[in-house]
Structure 1
Amino acid sequence: MPSSQTPTAGATRVTTPRPQRPATRPHGQWKVDGTAPLNGNEEWKQQDNGLNVRERIEKIYSRQGFDSIEGTDLHGRFRWWGLYTQRKPGIDGGKTATLEPHELEDKYFMLRVRIDGGQLTTGQLRVIGEISEEFGRDTADLTDRQNIQLHWIRVEDVPEIWRRLEAVGLQTTEACGDVPRVVLGSPVAGIAVDELLDPTAVINEITARYIGVPELANLPRKFKTALTGHPSQDVVHEINDVGFVALRHPELGLGYDLWVGGGLSASPRLGERLGAFVAPDKVADVWLGVASIFRDYGYRRLRNKARLKFLLADWGPEKFRQVLEDEYLHEALPDGPPAPTPTSQGDHVGVHKQNDGRFYIGVTPFVGRVSGTMLTGLADLLEQHGSTRLRTTPHQKIVLLDVSEENVEPLITALDALGLAARPSLFRRSTIACTGIEFCKLAIVETKQTATDAVLALEERLAGIDLPQPISLHVNGCPNSCARIQTADIGLKGQLLSDGAGGQVPGFQVHLGGGLASVGRDEAGLGRTVRGLKVTAEDLADYVERLVRRFLGERADDETFAVWAHRADEGALQ
């Protein structure tokens, strides 16, 4: 495996000894406690690397069928190749926490196609669409991590699906599991007029060198990366394990500001700057250093404490930087300033001029739900209008590249007919939703249709209202925050609520006033929770309409929804 750990000549920094953790409470840190596994997950990961399951899928399971799959492969190692069992239809949300995984799961899989940097060709998109149509009952979802997910996949069909994907340069390798996940990259890399740096080469270097290698295929938990050279900071870097944000250093020129330790789920924590400047040619080495710290020092004893954010919370950014420099880079990184606050929203929706005079168009499906038919139709449309490139985004959008000026309006008209809006309402533009109970074994409530119905209702009810800016609405089916509820203007965490008659109905706990740099927020922050503030799925549109009208009536000059939501009385938020 390539290494970034060769000592640099002249490096003289002295390492400060770190106190040893008491042996009575080991955290499973390999460099502190040793590598003996402290739970079942760590045992089976050491017994057989997750990458090795591919051979069994191809030679045994695809030939003998679902019932032949060994348990730890099915519920563990399959994830290393982008495969999760999906939820069996008809099991209500009240059973999510009470049934065993085998009772919740169907004999079909969700398959996640890994799309690093969101970069696709029309040929690749067509293959994904055809796979969806032929093997996935025409299902497809855009995720908020630039991937595309398919459903209803049979294990018997997986080898053929891999063959087709890999023939066009796509993969599912490490799309899930305790591994380095997809590398988020700016959807306008290399084409934006105002781009500072094109991160494409760095993203390609990281994925070529480090994805699918055994040395990084057993991390404590997932490891998420974000990298952008665009001033809108369009990759939600604050909630990734490691993030690189372009800036111009006053002495050293263009490079990246280094962030570590972000993550949401049930214990949300925004990442922190290490105060270090990373030159473009050092990014892959620094990335490897941060990933290796996570591998070697990450907490493995308890799964719910095994993300990098918990290590950073204990160490702090100063110690983290020192360990990175002393033990993994063997040289000091230059100090650097923070990147400037973005002045534009980073979802790239609408029509924008490229640096070559052509245009890119950001389009919005309803809450990331697409289909194989839509994807193949989009590939055809793009080629008919002279383009062969597109990008997925961290906001469940698609950016279409290289459109000549004369083709912009005809393409937008054709896209509308396909169900992709380049000029969406502000609510359609800013609403995202996770997969929900339709397919996910962890979900408690339905999300995609609930969010779509709410958007359609709000478009009608608020049609004459002039919103000063988009108000983001994020709908999640469980507490795990795949839809980033704590960083939305209005974030909704799925749960079952009392119907007042002894029964339960789908609903949501409400988070208000969150936001990230990439959605136009002056300063990233987590949403506010109000005790007892919950809304049923049926009343969602009513609640959002009431809240928006109250905001518009009470806001001070130029006050954003997030600022208002944090200062408003609890009664105003009900």
Structure 2
Amino acid sequence: MYRYNPTDQQLVDDRVAQFRDQMNRFLGGRLSEDEFRPLRLQNGLYVQRHAPMLRVAIPYGTLASAQLRKLADIARRYDRGYGHFTTRCNIQFNWVRLEEVPDILAELATVQMHAIQTSGNCIRNITTDPFAGVAADELFDPRPYCEIVRQWSTLAPEFLFLPRKFKIAISGGAEDRAAVRFHDIGARARMAADGRLGFEIHVGGGLGRTPMVGRLLKDFLPREELLNYFEAILRVYNRHGRRDNKYKARIKILVKDLTLEGFAREVEDEWAWSRGGPATLGDETFRSMEAFFARHDTAPAPADGTYDPAQDPAFSRWVARNVSPHRAAGQAIVTLSLKKTGVPPGDATAEQMDGIAALAERYSAGEIRVSHEQNLVLPHVARGDLPALWQGARALGLATPNIGLLTDLVCCPGGDFCSLANARSIPVADAIQQRFDDLDYLFDLGPLELNLSGCVNACGHHHIGHIGILGVDKNNEEWYQVTVGGREGERGALGRVIGPAFAAEQIPDVIQRLLEAYLAARHEGEPFIDAVERIGLEPFKARVYGGVA
């Protein structure tokens, strides 16, 4: 992991002191609500439906065990004993007290954490593949580049007041596990024919009110030009992006208005001024940053034959769903499920966070990752340690073998917490999990991604779920619109609405009928999303609306 130098620490400490003064002035009546709003948002502090909410940054989703323990401590002392991991790989505390937020930020600073740029019209948390650095299909580790971009973008004056929020994802694997085509800028690792390392750049992706799949802007960008080229894109956006209408202010709208070709010309003209300039990255920069992310040296792993998954069906299921290939022989990547039935997706208690930190120290070189599917990942596990790790995860309620299955659903906090939401998300997610809490059935269905959002802001990424659910307001009542056919990755696509919306209590039946249509039509071994692409939406519509009034 990256470790702060004295300058990094001073910046974060100064930011805490600055915000403490701002908070004191607000509480003392010397700052109005309108004056205080942008200041609190720049420090990740929202005012939600019931209480203030603090969003804490987890850069590219990477945590040390000491940091996770601090998050547990904050949950216990300043909140209601839990935190919510988000689709942006951050953590939210939903019940903080306004006057205590500067104290929380000071606590975070002691473990090199902060809440800077987790809100506002700025460059938000840089995200990447949760398997970065250990994935078997990786061309190169994207995390050093994420850190370079994080340092470049943090409190950069030119990019603190963009037309709207701005999201960047960087992926290093052959398989895109970072959803790069659904970000304002998405970068995918590439190698030129002559061996040079670089990136394929996509632009103008995003979800929300106007969902769009990102467009290929440059098929190969040399890695040394990463900051110069990103700066060119952002300057074009800053200059031409809409500021008169927040619903048309994202870069995806600008790309659409200028056309991809017109936008590309603007970027190339801007890049011509900075190419090869002071922000050009040299080999020494890469070497020094890569040193922070050097592969962990772990104790020799027992041979794969030292355990037999078939001896315990429950363990075998967990290995099948929650354990992924590692680039190193004898090691594995383990995903801890935050989707146990009856628990809001993405939530972890203080006790669970402390327990995960202990598991990470014992089995994963003290490192944890947060995935945009709202689960936690231990990336450095010896295969011989899997049985013991499974037992530890099961004791914490984190060993549900449902990764990538229907009940591993992605869900925003919705109307139970968020003041922007049109409808509640968590009760609907719970009803779906309760209805389909049958592992035999889930394993028979196979891979199926369900995403749920409480409003058009799409924090639950419903557009890219194989099945998506969107909460909508109809005459001051909560209804739910269903989409089918979304997917992320190389063949990224947006789901399509299947018809009129449904009441909350109908949703489990709707899901059941969608699954019945799939089971009736699928070829042997064919995943749900592939069947949708093969047969289209009509069989699903017919099954759903033929059985729902």
Q: TM-score range by the shorter chain?
A: 0.7 to 0.9
Matches of 1:379 and 1:73 in 2, distance apart? Answer: 39
1:255 alignment partner, one of 192, 198, 208: 198
One-letter code of the match for 1:515? R
Map 1:341-380; keep pairs closer than 5 Å. 349-355=322-328, 357-366=330-339, 367-380=345-358
Checking the alignment, whether the CA contact within 8 Å between 1:513 and 1:561 is kept in structure 2 is no
1:227 aligns with 170
Does residue 189 of the first structure (1) align with residue 156 of the second (2)?
A: no
Deviations 1:224-243 (A, max 9, x none): 00001012211111110001
2:39 aligns with 77
Deviations 1:436-484 (A, max 9, x none): 1121001122212321331232123x73465453221111111221111
1:48 aligns with none
| Residues 1:234 and 1:351: Cα distance change in structure 2 (over 3 Å) | closer
SS at match of 2:338: coil
Shift of 1:253: 4.2
Deviations 1:94-152 (A, max 9, x none): xxxxxxxxxxxxxx321111112111100011111111111011131111111111111
2:359 alignment partner, one of 381, 386, 401: 381
SS at match of 2:167: strand
SS at match of 1:396: coil
| Residues 1:497 and 1:138: Cα distance change in structure 2 (over 3 Å) | same
Shift of 1:486: 1.4
Shift of 1:77: 3.1
Matches of 2:270 and 2:252 in 1, distance apart? Answer: 20
Does residue 437 of the first structure (1) align with residue 404 of the second (2)?
A: no
Give the % identical residues. Answer: 27
1:528 aligns with 496
2:480 aligns with 508
Single out whichever of 373-382 and 175-184 deviates more from structure 2. 373-382
2:392 aligns with 414
| More RCO (CA 8 Å, sep 6+) | 1
Deviations 1:170-217 (A, max 9, x none): 111111100000001121222223210111211111111221122211
| Residues 1:296 and 1:356: Cα distance change in structure 2 (over 3 Å) | farther
Checking the alignment, whether the CA contact within 8 Å between 1:53 and 1:73 is kept in structure 2 is no
Matches of 2:455 and 2:505 in 1, distance apart? Answer: 17
| Residues 1:252 and 1:401: Cα distance change in structure 2 (over 3 Å) | closer
Shift of 1:74: 4.2
One-letter code of the match for 2:451? H
1:118 aligns with 61
1:23 aligns with none
TM-score, with structure 2 as normaliser: 0.81
1:477 aligns with 454
Matches of 1:465 and 1:154 in 2, distance apart? Answer: 41
Checking the alignment, whether the CA contact within 8 Å between 1:474 and 1:488 is kept in structure 2 is yes
Checking the alignment, whether the CA contact within 8 Å between 1:430 and 1:470 is kept in structure 2 is no
SS at match of 2:459: coil
Aligned length: 480
Map 1:269-418; keep pairs closer than 5 Å. 269-330=212-273, 349-355=322-328, 357-366=330-339, 367-385=345-363, 387-418=365-396
Shift of 1:60: 4.7
Checking the alignment, whether the CA contact within 8 Å between 1:222 and 1:307 is kept in structure 2 is yes
Matches of 2:495 and 2:57 in 1, distance apart? Answer: 30
SS at match of 1:269: coil
Shift of 1:294: 1.6
Map 1:448-459; keep pairs closer than 5 Å. 448-459=426-437
Matches of 1:57 and 1:332 in 2, distance apart? Answer: 37
Shift of 1:505: 5.5
1:562 alignment partner, one of 526, 532, 536: 532
After the TM superposition, which parts of structure 1 deviate over 6 Å for at least 4 consecutive aligned residues? Answer: none
1:166 aligns with 109
- List runs of 5+ in structure 1 lacking aligned partners: 1-51, 89-107, 334-347, 499-503
SS at match of 1:538: helix
Does residue 447 of the first structure (1) align with residue 425 of the second (2)?
A: yes
Higher relative helix content: 2
Checking the alignment, whether the CA contact within 8 Å between 1:183 and 1:226 is kept in structure 2 is yes
Matches of 1:158 and 1:117 in 2, distance apart? Answer: 23
| Residues 1:466 and 1:193: Cα distance change in structure 2 (over 3 Å) | closer
Checking the alignment, whether the CA contact within 8 Å between 2:370 and 2:376 is kept in structure 1 is yes
SS at match of 1:539: helix
One-letter code of the match for 1:238? R
2:510 alignment partner, one of 526, 539, 543: 543
SS at match of 1:153: coil
One-letter code of the match for 1:86? Q
Map 1:49-64; keep pairs closer than 5 Å. 57-62=19-24
Does residue 572 of the first structure (1) align with residue 540 of the second (2)?
A: no
| Residues 1:381 and 1:325: Cα distance change in structure 2 (over 3 Å) | same
Matches of 2:229 and 2:247 in 1, distance apart? Answer: 26
- List runs of 5+ in structure 2 lacking aligned partners: 1-13, 277-320, 340-344
| Residues 1:479 and 1:66: Cα distance change in structure 2 (over 3 Å) | farther
One-letter code of the match for 2:103? E
Checking the alignment, whether the CA contact within 8 Å between 1:326 and 1:332 is kept in structure 2 is no
Checking the alignment, whether the CA contact within 8 Å between 2:203 and 2:215 is kept in structure 1 is yes
Matches of 2:212 and 2:374 in 1, distance apart? Answer: 22
Matches of 2:514 and 2:420 in 1, distance apart? Answer: 29
1:97 aligns with none
1:34 aligns with none
SS at match of 1:551: helix
Matches of 1:173 and 1:469 in 2, distance apart? Answer: 39
Matches of 2:275 and 2:536 in 1, distance apart? Answer: 40
SS at match of 1:257: strand
2:469 aligns with 492
For the aligned residues, what is the CA RMSD?
2.7
Matches of 1:422 and 1:352 in 2, distance apart? Answer: 19
